[in-house]
Amino acid sequence: MVCMGNICRSPTAEVVLRDKAKSRGIELIVDSVGTENYHIGDPPDARSIHHARRRGYDLTALRARQISAQDFTEFDVILAADAVNLHAITLRCPVEHQSKLGLFLGTEPLPDPYYGEAADFEKVLDLVEKRVDFLLASWWC
């Protein structure tokens, strides 16, 4: 899961995917990263933590990191929050791994709640939960 700073969208998607997969008995290795380096080592945004916690998700153990060359070989699927981040990882990704890249929501961007209000964080959670349910159903029919 990839967003710009790895403090809002991607950590939310990471934890929701991991928790929902686990509850279905599916073992996945899930991680999240940012395309930029300005939050490395920071916990997720406090608002992301707060809104996720209200739905039973715990983001507190996560720390932001920037995508690395190893991620392109280590992971089978790499999903970006929006076209800007997809473009950034496409430029860094070796040609032989580019088929792993895509947008998290398929064709639409996952909106960035960082400059928004509480409702924006709730909307991200709604979209992430819905998409994770779809992905898990399509990957494990």
Q: Going residue by residue through the chain (141 aa), what tens digit of pLDDT does each one get?
A: 999 999 999 999 999 999 999 999 999 999 999 999 999 999 999 999 999 999 999 999 999 999 999 999 999 999 999 999 999 999 999 999 999 999 999 999 999 999 999 999 999 999 999 999 999 999 876
* Residue 33 covered by a domain: yes
* Residue 138 covered by a domain: no
SS3 12: helix
**Which residues, other chains included, contact 131 with Cβ-Cβ below 8 Å and sequence gap of 6+?**
104, 105, 106
**Which residues, other chains included, contact 63 with Cβ-Cβ below 8 Å and sequence gap of 6+?**
41, 42, 43
* Residue 9 covered by a domain: yes
Closest CA to 80 of 21, 33, 136: 33
Number of domains in the chain: 1
Burial 117-137 (b: 16+ CB within 10 A, else e): eeebbebbbebbbebbeebbe
- Residues with catalytic roles: 3, 9, 112
* Residue 140 covered by a domain: no
**Rounded to whole angstroms, how far apart are CA atoms 130 and 138?**
12
Q: What are 68's two structure tokens?
A: 């690395």
